[in-house]
Structure formats: structure tokens, C-alpha cells
Structure 1
Amino acid sequence: MMRIAALAASLLLATTACSEAPAGEPVTRVNLDGTPRTQAASPSPTPTQVSGPSACRAVVFEEVPLTHCTADPAQHRIAMANLGGDKQPFGSLTAFAGSVDPSTIAFAVNGGMYGDDLKPIGYFVQNGERLAELNRGDGAKEGGGNFYMKPNGVFFGSGAKWQVLGSNTFFNTVGDRPEFGTQSGPLLLVDGKLHPEIQDDGPSKAIRNGVGVDASGKAHFVISDAPISFGQLSRYFRDVVKVSNALYLDGQVSSVWDPAGSRLDKGRVGPIIVVTKREKAASE
């Protein structure tokens, strides 16, 4: 899904200014029923909105507006979703939102690469059940694409411990099946350095998102609200979020549902990463 606006010319690598976004609406917002809405002031909560603080905030990095959502192990749990009650993919955050109690959700984002059938093309674990094997295929044989820009990686975890690892490292070191996991690619950061095939600020710019886990164990999900290069997104994770490994989740279809922020992006998605409020999850 494409949203807002072209940007000014690319900045030099040395420019890494990041600031809180000014007040206002950085992106188009919609109600849970998919209808557009405008917001001049904070309205009273409705059945499709959730009161309380949002886990997402608006920032600006190198003149690109971003939405930065943080999952804290002390407050949140993470799970994957793909298939609905009819055993068919949800296909959109709108459909997923209609299947759950919004008050239990901190936020949800698109969660990795998928095929034409909207099912994951790589490793995928939901509720401890492995639904797809680790994909170690050669991009030349599989049709290419960002997923096969090696190294790609896996975002996974159990309980309050979450990680991003390269797919080969994951294969060689992780023996126990996690509670959740999703494979995507490429890695934006590999041990603190930009992926070897990512330029500092390449010509390809699109709506993109990714995830990284910091030293304290918090997972950071970042989505651009205007076109961004791979290099810019990678540097945000390196210089601002300060993670060692960051994983690209997707482009163009990058979407977020933030109930407390009254944001529900439209667009076709496959796997979904769901961040729930721990106090709600603990009572289930």
C-alpha cells in the first residue's frame, strides 16, 4: 500500500538527524471499518478505538517520517497470525482487526514475505506450531527478490525473550522450537553493519518496514510513512535504535494497526506480527 508523499533529495551518510515529528497527522488514518477519517482533535473513544497510551510514536529521520512501535517484554507478548477461523489467510490488517478484541492489542504489523497464496515463503511458527520450514533456497532458482538477498533472517522468540538472527545462524544454533517465528529478508543490519548489498542511500525508495531487538530485549518495529531507501532504514536501526541485527519485513505493503492511535492501514498482507498487552494476555 502506497501512502503519502515524495521527499526531498537524498542526504549524505553523515546526516543522521532524528527528531520527534511535529504535531499533526503524518499518514492517512482509517476507521476499523475501512472508512477514511480526519482528526483535528482527539475524539472520545468509540467501539472501534481503544483509550490509553499508544506503543507507537511518530519520528523523523533524515527528513523521512517514520512510525516507531516498541514492544516491551514487561508489558507485551508477541505472536504470529496468518490464517483465520476459516483456515484462509486474513489477507489484511482490517480483516484481522475484525477477528479480535481491539483492547487486547498493542499493535500489529505485516510480518514477512509471502507467496501468491498469502502464506509465508519461509520459516513460520504460530503458537508453537511450525507451519513452514526454514527456507535456505537460492534466489536464482526461486525467482529472486529481497527475500533471497543473503543473509536473510528470522525474527523469533518465546515468552519474554525475542531475537533477530541470520537464517544460517538460526539453523546452526537454535535447537528448541520458539513460540513464534517468521523468516524474511534481507537482514538490514548484520552484527551492527549494513547488509553488504545495501547501499548507503540507493535509488530504490518505497514504503518499508523492519524489526530489531535492542540490548534490553525490547523489539522495535519501524515503518516509513513516506518512501525510504534500504540504507536510510538500516541506519535508523543502527544509529537511533542501536540494535546489532535488524530484519526487513517488506515494502509497499508495509502496514501497521495501532488501536490506541486510531490507525489501521489498508493493504494486502500475509503473515502478521501481533503484539498483545501482557495484562490482557495473562488473564486469558
Structure 2
Amino acid sequence: MPASTSPIPHRVRHPHPLRWLLPLLLFANLAACSSGARGVDSRELAFAGQNYRVVHLDLKHDQLKLFWREPGSGRPFGSIDALRQWGQAHGKRLLFAANAGIYDRKSAPLGLYVENGKTMVPLNLSHGNPAAGNFSLLPNGVFAIYPDGHAAVRTSNDFKADGKPAQWATQSGPMLLIDGKLNQQFVDDSSSLKWRSGVCVRSSTQVLFAVSEGPVNFHTFARLFRDKLGCRDALYLDGSISRLYVDGEGYAGAPAFMVKPYAGIFAVFVPQ
């Protein structure tokens, strides 16, 4: 009888624990990037002896809106921090914020203010009112986002003549640039030095905000938009109270002790 042969046992291979761990870590990183790590394009630039904080928004991805009063209560937000806290309470994270146009003594926008398609303050074409301050330096202008998602900076008269309804809009002044040219009211060696903020639309969906990190005059600030940022039309937003907020970076612009309540605030939120 032939001798019986025992089968050779197979070696059982146990997968290395890292084989399962690495894909899980990769997935977690991807999830974090997609859910909360996205920010806005923010950078510091030097120009003509002064530093500036510049934020570049792409309206195809960044949902830029305007906020004045809290829904429900009707109370003005007044500050970027109050708006940020409101967003947190509603499951939103504030990526970017900036004060909008000039306001009056009653803390209401001095000119056109449109929020989500509703005109809350009409276009202001009054001329030569000294109480209006920089708003009366003509031409003043309008920053608007339209229902189709494109944005524009126009002089107030051109905005009226165009007649297109805006989804979001704020009026301020003066215009810094009109069709690539500096506002003729600006003087190269002016001694009127203030912290300043402004906005331009470089293409239909590319919006740039800038704030100075120290006092500058209008002429230098307008040249920043033309010569450094490549803008053709740019609008001044406000002066010594102006600040930008960027998530993860904090505030840039005027010192905190100079800031007063805002009437309108630009903001980009994302879900928390």
C-alpha cells in the first residue's frame, strides 16, 4: 500500500495594518479639503512705499453677498465680528468680509443699496453736498452683481443709464478709475492721507478688494488698482474705518480703535 502523503499547509498571509490605514488617512485628508479647508485668495502687496492686503474673489466659486440688517430682528449687524457670529449660529463659516459703501449719520447707506434683488436704498445722484464727504467727489459709482452672476463697477450715471436690475449692489465714491484713467480730482502730492479700501472687477467674475495697511492719498491708491492690479474701473469704498477680514488671517486695514459701525458688509460664507 502506498504511503499516504499529508497535504502541505498553506501559509495564511495577514495584510499589513498600514495597508488599510493609509487609504483611510488619504480619504480623511480629501474630506477635510473639500469640506472646510477652502479659503480665499489673499495676499499682501507692496506698492509706492505702502503695504496693501488684496483679496481676489472668483464669483464662479465665491458667493459674494451684502449684509446690512439681521433677518428677523432687523437690527443692523454693524460689525464684521457680529456678522461672523451670526453666521456661526446658522452653520456658516465666514471666509471673507469687508465694509461696503459710505453711510449717513443715521448709519444707513448714503447711496444705492441692493440686497438679494431688493432695493433698500435708492440710487443717489445728488451733487455737491459737502456733508456727503468723499461721496460727493464726482464721479461716484456703483459696484453691482447681476442675477446672471457677473459683476461690474460703473459710474452712478452709467449704472442708471444702463437700467439693468442688480442682485447685489452698493454705491460709494469717488470712482478711483474710469476706463483705465485716474479720477481727475486726484492730486499726485495730496497731503490727505487715510487708510483706504476699494474694489474693482477685472473681468466679469473676477473681483478684487484692497485695503491699505497705512495712510495713503487717493492718487496713490488709484494707481495701485491701475498699475499693480491691472484694473480699468475701480471704486473707493471708505476711509479710516476700513478693514478686510480673511478666515485664518484675521483683519487687515485700519486699527481696531478707529473702526465704527458699518451700514453694509460684503461677505463670503461657506457651510461649516
TM-score normalized by structure 1? 0.75
**1:76 counterpart SS class:** coil
Paired residues in the alignment total 228
Tell me the equivalent position of 2:80. 93
**1:99 counterpart SS class:** helix
Whether 1:217 aligns to 2:199 is no
Tell me the equivalent position of 1:80. 66
Pick from 171, 179, 182 the counterpart of residue 194 of structure 1.
182
> Is the 1:199–1:231 contact (alpha carbons within 8 Å) kept by the matching residues of 2?
yes
- Quick one: distance in 2 between partners of 1:87 and 1:53? 29
> Is the 2:142–2:172 contact (alpha carbons within 8 Å) kept by the matching residues of 1?
yes
- Quick one: distance in 1 between partners of 2:41 and 2:263? 23
Tell me the equivalent position of 1:135. 124
- The CA deviation string for residues 211-260 of structure 1, in whole angstroms up to 9 with x for no partner, is 00003631000000111111111001001111111000000110112113
> Is the 1:201–1:230 contact (alpha carbons within 8 Å) kept by the matching residues of 2?
no
Alignment of 1:62-73 (within 5 A): 62-73=48-59
Q: CA 1:219/1:79 → structure 2, altered by over 3 Å: closer, same or farther?
A: same
Shift of 1:116: 1.9
**1:163 counterpart SS class:** strand
Whether 1:116 aligns to 2:109 is no
Whether 1:232 aligns to 2:225 is no
Structure with bigger RCO (C-alpha 8 Å, 6+ apart): 1
Q: CA RMSD in A?
A: 2.1
- Quick one: distance in 1 between partners of 2:93 and 2:82? 16
- Quick one: distance in 2 between partners of 1:194 and 1:84? 37
Structure 1 or 2: more helix by fraction: 2
**2:248 counterpart SS class:** helix
Pick from 110, 131, 136 the counterpart of residue 148 of structure 1.
136
Q: CA 1:144/1:261 → structure 2, altered by over 3 Å: closer, same or farther?
A: closer
When Rg is computed on C-alpha atoms for both structures, the one with the higher figure is 2
**2:187 counterpart SS class:** coil
Aligned partner letter, 2:232:
S
Structure 2 unaligned spans of 5+: 1-35
- Quick one: distance in 2 between partners of 1:116 and 1:84? 20
> Is the 1:187–1:195 contact (alpha carbons within 8 Å) kept by the matching residues of 2?
yes
Q: CA 1:76/1:52 → structure 2, altered by over 3 Å: closer, same or farther?
A: closer
**1:188 counterpart SS class:** strand
> Is the 1:208–1:254 contact (alpha carbons within 8 Å) kept by the matching residues of 2?
yes
Between the aligned residues of both structures, percent identity stands at: 30
Whether 1:270 aligns to 2:251 is no
> Is the 2:151–2:204 contact (alpha carbons within 8 Å) kept by the matching residues of 1?
no
> Is the 2:99–2:242 contact (alpha carbons within 8 Å) kept by the matching residues of 1?
yes
Shift of 1:262: 3.2
Q: CA 1:243/1:84 → structure 2, altered by over 3 Å: closer, same or farther?
A: same
TM-score normalized by structure 2? 0.78
